[in-house]
Structure 1
Amino acid sequence: MDSDFEHLRHKPPTVLDKPRDLIIACCPMRSNVNVSRIVRAASCCAVSKVIVCGNVKIDPKIARDGAEKIPISKHRSLAPVLRDYKKEGYTLVGLEQTTNSHDIHHFAFVRKTILVIGNERLGITEEILSLLDATVEIPVYGMPYSYNAATATCMALYEFCRQFPGG
């Protein structure tokens, strides 16, 4: 064994100078656990904001530091919010399996993106789908046909960060 080789268990994280131009927008979700996991992952990826709808409660034990560090914007309805951001030049990308969805492995994100996450059972509504610029899906190799909403969001966040490692 090489005596010069050392494992660092908790090396300091890479911290960006400012949050990314990436926003997560969640359709009304059934599970506060999923939303809390999304908030935690969004914080790890330096997302600038998380938009939530409906009666959402973020569990600080699950979201951990994310609940305190990332702005969370609560709204009654998602469509008007997305329309406003679209006017500001954001690209709206839904994480959803649709007829024209792109395989996430071959999709080029733009920096100024809102990643829209659908309801765990119902997905993204027709109203919201009509506002999107694109949809991406994550290939599934077994059953069921899709990943859990929070898990899929983590994968999509990772891919966005891979494409824009410096922010």
Structure 2
Amino acid sequence: MIKPMTPERYQKFRAVLDRRQPDLTVMTDQVHKNHNLSAIIRTCDAVGIADLHLTQPKEGYRGIRRRSMGSHKYVNVHHYDRVEDTAAHLKQQGFTIIAAHFSEQAIPYHEVDFTQPCALMLGAEKRGISSEAAALADRHIIIPMQGMVASYNVSVAAAVILVEAQRQRLIKGMYDRPKLSVDIYQKTLFQWGYPELARYCDERRLCYPELNDTGQLINPSLWYEKVRASHDSPIDERGH
């Protein structure tokens, strides 16, 4: 049998999804160190970001699921071959791209309005974002520095900027109401609560069984029988 969600876990998932910010995201340009990517993913989850758009680095990314300590399964990582493709996709979705980048037109990060639909662009720690990526951004921002070092580690910079974005959104009450579409909300809730069964359904292009108000499967026996009848492939005790 499929292990049901506990009421406490169901309510936790609901509370997290209620605060997700689909109009706030992060994109990277050749960030390749696993520990930095893992830390960025953890920060994304912490401030309510559901999606990270990663321009595929030439090296790195191995082991990120382990090092992000579970946050990876709660943040969707989308891969792109070129930063131009990443930017084009986000702009088509209505995002303003705000790049952490030293330039003549850069302004302090806290002067930017992060309550608008926006994507924070981050570059590799030593080189920053590429000239191509900088040209694609709508705004450039910096974190003012007071010491000898010229910049923060990229994952630290991500945390500093995203906490400011969270602060602005909290003031505006943007975490007080669900913002995800109903379809995405319900799909994600099921995937988090029943990952093995969701994977089984996805592999076979099956609709997820319905959940009741406490997160339990509605009439699972009937759903199993329909699956067996239509696919002649019974689910074993692990949901496969």
How far apart are the structure 1 equivalents of 2:129 and 2:26?
14
Tell me the residue number matched to 2:31: 29
How far apart are the structure 1 equivalents of 2:64 and 2:27?
18
User: Which structure has more helix as a fraction of its residues?
Assistant: 2
How far apart are the structure 1 equivalents of 2:48 and 2:63?
18
Q: Give TM-score, length-normalised by structure 2.
A: 0.60
Q: Which of residues 101, 105, 111 in structure 1 aligns to 2:110?
A: 105
User: Unaligned stretches of 5+ in structure 1?
Assistant: 1-11
Q: Which runs of 4+ in 1 moved over 3 A?
A: none
Tell me the residue number matched to 2:160: 155
Q: Which of residues 93, 96, 100 in structure 1 aligns to 2:101?
A: 96
How far apart are the structure 1 equivalents of 2:157 and 2:63?
18
Secondary structure of the equivalent of 1:164?
A: helix
Identity value in percent: 23
1:56-91 Cα shifts (integer Å, max 9, x gaps): 235334312311111011221121121121122110
Q: CA deviation at 1:137?
A: 0.7
Tell me the residue number matched to 2:47: 45
1:98-133 Cα shifts (integer Å, max 9, x gaps): 111110122222431111001111111111111111
How far apart are the structure 2 equivalents of 1:73 and 1:84?
11
1:16-43 Cα shifts (integer Å, max 9, x gaps): 5152111111111231110110001111
- Matched AA of 1:19: R
User: Unaligned stretches of 5+ in structure 2?
Assistant: 1-11, 176-240
Larger Rg: 2
Aligned residues: CA RMSD: 1.8
User: Which structure has more strand as a fraction of its residues?
Assistant: 1
Q: Give TM-score, length-normalised by structure 1.
A: 0.85
